[in-house]
Structures are given as structure tokens and as C-alpha cells.
Amino acid sequence: ALILAVSTLLVADFGAKRIKGYTFSIEQRANCEAGSGAYLQYAHCRLLSIEAKNPGLSADAANFELVDSKEVCAFVYKLFWYEHIVELCLEDFEPSRIVVYLMDLVKS
């Protein structure tokens, strides 16, 4: 519970641009709606659960020719942006870019 609470506060802090101030609200920070730290943690837990239930799966064994969904292609395209987003954060010291990117990713 402590990890969830701390990560929720960190996502709330890092989700706003550094130059903008925000008024702290415990109700707003504690919600589990899309766009919150708790929602990001929930998505992470779901991914870990899928991975745990399928220990033998490997990307090397995947047949990507079977994937012709526009949604899947769009999602994979978003994954390729991760390194670029991190580089931008390092250049301008703006951690909100990573939070916005991750929120967009989990909503996909």
C-alpha cells in the first residue's frame, strides 16, 4: 500500500510540467481513474500477471505476420518512441514527458 501511495504521488508530481504549479488535493491524487498514478500501477500489475501466466512465451517465437491490426501497429509504433521521450526528458529536465507518454501508452 505504501508503494502504491508513493508512486501515486510521484506520478502526480511528475505529471505536471515543472514551470506550472499545482494545488495539492489528496482526493485528486488518490483517485484510480485513467490518468492517475494508481491507474498506471494497475496497468503494470495486469502486464505482470499476463507475463506470470505465460512463462513460456517469447518474442523470438512470435509470428508477427499474423498481426495486421491497425491498433496493434499503432501501439508498437508508440513503444518505439520510448527512447526518444527519455532523451527529451534528459535534455530539458522535464519528467512530465515520461508520465504523459506512459499514460498515453496504458490507454492504448
Rounded to whole angstroms, how far apart are CA atoms 81 and 106?
14
pLDDT in the model for residue 83:
94
Specify the higher pLDDT residue, 17 or 74.
Answer: 74
Q: Which of these, 97, 101, 108, lies nearest to 17 by C-alpha position?
A: 97
pTM for the complete prediction?
A: 0.71
Whether the CB-CB separation of 29 and 8 falls below 8 Å is answered with: yes
Is the pLDDT assigned to residue 7 strictly greater than 70? yes
- Grid cell locating 94: 522535464
Mean pLDDT for the stretch of residues 54-59: 84
- Grid cell locating 32: 484510480
Q: What domains can be seen in the chain, in order of their start residue? A: 2-107 (1.10.730.10)
Rounded to whole angstroms, how far apart are CA atoms 63 and 44?
25
Is the pLDDT assigned to residue 18 strictly greater than 70? no
